[in-house]
Amino acid sequence: MSGAMTERHMLGEDEAAPLAGLAARVRALTEAAVLTGVGADEARAVADEIAALTERLRAVRRDAPPFLVTDGHRMDRQGGNPVTGVLNPIAPPVDLDVTADGIVRAEFTLSDVYEGPPSYVHGGMSAMVLDQALGMAAAQTGVGGMTATLELRYRRPTPLGVPLTVEAKASRVEGRKIYASGTIAGPDGRVTVEATAMFVTPQHFLVHER
What is the contact surface with ligand MFK in residues (CB under 6 A)?
A: 74-75, 131-132, 135-136, 139, 144, 146-149, 176-177, 200, 202
Rounded least distance, CB 153 to ligand MFK, Å: 18
Name the residue with the smallest CB distance to ligand MFK.
144
Question: Which of 8/74 has CB closer to ligand MFK?
Answer: 74
* Contacts of 89 by beta carbon, 8 Å cutoff, 6+ apart: 23, 24, 26, 27, 29, 30
The helix/strand/coil state of 156 is coil
Find out whether 112 and 161 touch, Cβ atoms under 8 Å: yes
Please, which residues bridge with residue 69 across strands?
A: none
Find out whether 129 and 193 touch, Cβ atoms under 8 Å: no
Rounded least distance, CB 145 to ligand MFK, Å: 7
Find out whether 177 and 198 touch, Cβ atoms under 8 Å: yes
Question: Which of 23/139 has CB closer to ligand MFK?
Answer: 139
Question: Which of 31/122 has CB closer to ligand MFK?
Answer: 122
Find out whether 168 and 104 touch, Cβ atoms under 8 Å: yes
Rounded least distance, CB 149 to ligand MFK, Å: 5
Question: Which of 11/94 has CB closer to ligand MFK?
Answer: 94
Residue of 166, 164, 149, 124 whose CA lies nearest to 200? 149
C-alpha separations of 148 from 113, 134, 199, 202 in Å: 28, 12, 5, 11
Rounded least distance, CB 134 to ligand MFK, Å: 7
Give start and end residues of each alpha helix (H) in the chain: 13-35, 40-58, 123-139, 203-209
Rounded least distance, CB 10 to ligand MFK, Å: 17
Question: Which of 22/173 has CB closer to ligand MFK?
Answer: 173
* Contacts of 26 by beta carbon, 8 Å cutoff, 6+ apart: 89
Question: Which of 65/202 has CB closer to ligand MFK?
Answer: 202
Rounded least distance, CB 28 to ligand MFK, Å: 26
